[in-house]
Amino acid sequence: MKSCSKCLLPETHETIEYNESGECNICNQHKFKNEKIDWENKDKEFFEILDQYKSKHPYDCIVPFSGGKDSVFTLYKLAHEMKLKCLVVSFDHSFFRPKLIENRTKIFKKLGVDVITFTPNWKIVQKLMLETFLRKGDFCWHCHSGIFAYPMQVAIKEKVPLVIWGEPQAEYTAYYSYEDTLNQNEEVNEERFNKFVNLGISADDMYYMLNDKNLDKRDLAPYVYPSEDELKNLNFRSICLGSYFPWDVKKQVALIKEELGWEEDLNAGIPPEYSYEKVECQMQGIRDYIKYIKRGSGRTAHLSAIDLRNGRINKNKAKNNIKKYDGKKPANLDLFLKAVGLTEKEFNKIVKTHTVFPANVDPEKLEKGKPLHDSNYWDKSAPMERSYTEKKLNNFNFKK
Ligand SMILES: [Zn+2]
């Protein structure tokens, strides 16, 4: 496979393109971020936005929050450094790990913030996971849609028009660039939501796709992005902190550890030096494994690319890590299989139908990784009813 001469990301990476010298568009954005953006001016712009909203509503802003490194840093900046009155809104995707829950409790207490956590109906989550896995080879629709739609619903309900997110997408893909950042094009709005968050499937589409007589349209309410009119009436702004301050994950992780006692927790399929990454989800290793089968590239490649761009590792180190850690079958794959009622054989077959050319990975040949230290404590009650999954497989002609 073709790959970037600088960060090694392969041609199957979302949105990637290469220039004549073999460097990718994401590396170029990174250069733009470091060389062309006047961050002092962006900083000023941020405080101008705050001035428009501060002390005028029940809260100064809403901070969508998981408890991972990015949202913790964002909340620290806003609630502690800038002394804003923040309403923390947290969408529980059903797979928080024990350490994450400890981190959240500790941080909410230390920062002194009001928190709304919403946990959607598990039975619906299961159906959504299966449906989008079959259709798109990506089971995270419920999580991504909920995380981005639900805080906007709260903004309307609580009459808090300013929503502040963490890292901009320009950091990782080219759906938006840092040039867009400069022109304020990467606002976290419905356009961005439809562009890549929800896989092109709205909650309304999803209701009809599920085609399930036991389902009530209201069951999908947590995933509905509020209407443009409602948001406009609120005079809303929904922005990324990382569009106004240069995002630097490693520095930020050091800061939240020091200041808040935030703790790392190694996830599956990545080297221990990246224990700060994606601490929030039991399913992350499984998502990354699926990506590896589809695209021939996993999370270690993604993390190495960031470090290569920042000149923090060399290509040899990156290549060794990628070889050693990417493409291991998660020891906890059964967590997903049980949640959606699939066998591993069916799982492999479904993922293979979503392969991105020219990746060509045979999942039967991949080695098994080590179980995560806390996996014995993960809840596996309420598996999917097999009869539901079988009906779906028949409809999709995926059965053996
Ligand atoms: Zn690159």
**What distance in angstroms lies between residue 306's CA and the mean position of ligand 1's atoms?**
9
Q: What is the pLDDT of residue 38?
A: 93
Whether the pLDDT of residue 398 is over 90: the answer is no
Q: What is the pLDDT of residue 169?
A: 86
Whether the pLDDT of residue 153 is over 80: the answer is yes
Share of the chain above pLDDT 90, in %: 90
Is the whole-model pTM more than 0.75? yes
Q: What is the pLDDT of residues 333-382, one digit of tens each?
A: 999 999 999 999 999 999 999 999 999 999 999 999 999 999 999 999 99
The mean per-residue pLDDT over the stretch 106-133 comes to 98
**What distance in angstroms lies between residue 7's CA and the mean position of ligand 1's atoms?**
4
Q: What is the pLDDT of residues 227-246, one digit of tens each?
A: 999 999 999 999 999 999 99
Q: For the chain, list the domains and their CATH numbers.
A: 58-164+188-243 (3.40.50), 265-396 (no CATH)
Q: What is the pLDDT of residue 179?
A: 85
What's the full length of the chain, in residues? 400
Cis peptide before 363 (omega within 30 of 0): no
**What distance in angstroms lies between residue 171's CA and the mean position of ligand 1's atoms?**
12
Q: What is the pLDDT of residues 295-315, one digit of tens each?
A: 999 999 999 999 999 999 999
Neighbours of ion ligand 1 (CB under 5 A): 4, 6-7, 24, 27
**What distance in angstroms lies between residue 178's CA and the mean position of ligand 1's atoms?**
15
Give the span between the Cα atoms of 156 and 58, in whole angstroms: 12
